[in-house]
Amino acid sequence: LCSCVHSPKGFPKLKNDTFLRAARGEETEHTPVWCMRQAGRYLPEFRETRAAQDFFATCRSPKLCCELTLQPLRRFPLDAAIIFSDILVVPQALGMEVVMVPGKGPTFTEPLKEVEDLLKLRQKVDVTAELGYVFQAITLTRHSLEGRVPLIGFSGAPWTLMSYMIEGGGSTTMSKAKSWLYRHPEASHRLLRLLADVITDYLVGQVAAGAQALQLFESHAGHLGPEQFQDFALPYIRDIAQAVKSKLKEEALPLVPMIIFAKDAHYALRDLAHAGYEVVGLDWTIRPQEARAQIGKNVTLQGNLDPCALYAPKEKIGELVKKMLEGFGTQRYIANLGHGLYPDMNPEHVGAFVEAVHAHSRHINKH
C-alpha cells in the first residue's frame, strides 16, 4: 500500500460533487449536508462493529475505519463522508499515551505538567510512520465509496490538542492548559508550533491518500477570550492553511477546500473569514444572518443546527431546517449541525434532518 500513499491513482470518478462545489462557492441545485460525528454511537451497527474493540485499536484498523465511515451513507443520502478517526492520534504521534476510559472518555496516562515535559515529545514526526494507518484508511475508504460522495479528512487544531495534552482529558474550565498561556507563553508557543508543523504534514498526507476536503477542529476555542485566541490560536490556524496549500502545490497534489470549525468563537468570525479557509463552520450559538454579515460573501458557511433539535418530532425538525436555510440562503452554504451527533439520538431523526435540507433547499432554489 505504501507506494500508493503518495500518489493514489485510479480512484473512482466522483458522482456527487455538490459538497465540493458549495465549499468552493459554485452554484448547487440543492444545499449539501453532512453531520459531524455522523459515524457514531447513535447507529446500532456502529455499536456492533465497535463492541469488542478498544477505541484506539479501531482507529488503527483501516478496515474498521472504512466500515464505520460508510455506515451512515448506507442509511442516509448524505453529501459527504468524513473519515472515522480521532483528533488525539496527533498527540499519540508525538509519543504521548492516550487511553479511552469507559464513562470518562480519552485520558492521557502522563499529561504535560511542567515545561520540561515538552522534551519528552518527539521533536520530528514522520507522519507516514506514525499515522500511516489513517492514510491507509482514507485510501481504502475513497475506493470503497465508489465515487458516491467526497471524503473529508480532518485534524484537531493546535490549541485544542495542547489543552488535552495538559489537562490529560476533558475539562470544564481548561484551567491547567490556560495557566500555561499566562505562566509559560514561550513554551506554549513552542508546543503550538510543534503541533502546527505535525498537523500540516498530517493534512497533506491525508490529501495524498485521497481526502477531497479537510476540516480543522478548534473545538476548545470557547475557553479562550478574544486576546488569547488572537495570540495562541489564530496564528497557527492561519499558518496551517497557508502551509498545507503551499505543500499541496509543491507536491502537485489537488488543492482541496479547507474548513475551519472553531466552536464558540463568534468573537473571531471576522478573523476566521480571512484565515485562508474556503469554509467557516459555525456552532448553534449564532444567528445565520449575523454570521453572514461578519464573514462576508466570499467564504462558504457550514452549520449550525443545534444538535438537540434532532430530539424534536420530525415535522418540527423540518421547520427548523427551513428556517435555517432561509437564514443562510441555499448557496455558498453547507448544512450541518452546530456540533456532533449525540449517542442517544434516533437515526430516523438524523434521516429527517438530511432529507429536509435537500427538500427545502430544492424548493427554495426553484422559487
Report, as residue numbers or ranges, the catalytic residues.
Answer: 37, 41, 50, 86, 164
What are residue 260's DSSP bridge partners?
216, 280
The packing angle between helices 185-209 and 234-250, to 10°, is 30
**CA pair distance 340, 148, nearest whole angstrom:** 23
Cell matching residue 148:
458516491
SS3 95: coil
Q: Are residues 248 and 254 in contact, defined by beta-carbon separation less than 8 angstroms?
A: yes
**CA pair distance 108, 116, nearest whole angstrom:** 17
Q: Are residues 145 and 12 in contact, defined by beta-carbon separation less than 8 angstroms?
A: yes
Cell matching residue 110:
502522563
**CA pair distance 284, 265, nearest whole angstrom:** 11
State the burial class of residue 159 (Cβ atoms within 10 Å of its Cβ: 0-12, 13-18, 19+): buried
Q: Are residues 258 and 244 in contact, defined by beta-carbon separation less than 8 angstroms?
A: yes
**CA pair distance 16, 150, nearest whole angstrom:** 8
Residues 6 or more apart in contact with residue 85 via CB below 8 angstroms: 59, 65, 134, 137, 154
**CA pair distance 194, 103, nearest whole angstrom:** 31
Give start and end residues of each alpha helix (H) in the chain: 2-6, 18-24, 44-50, 55-59, 62-75, 89-93, 127-144, 158-167, 175-183, 185-209, 226-228, 234-250, 269-273, 288-295, 314-328, 347-366
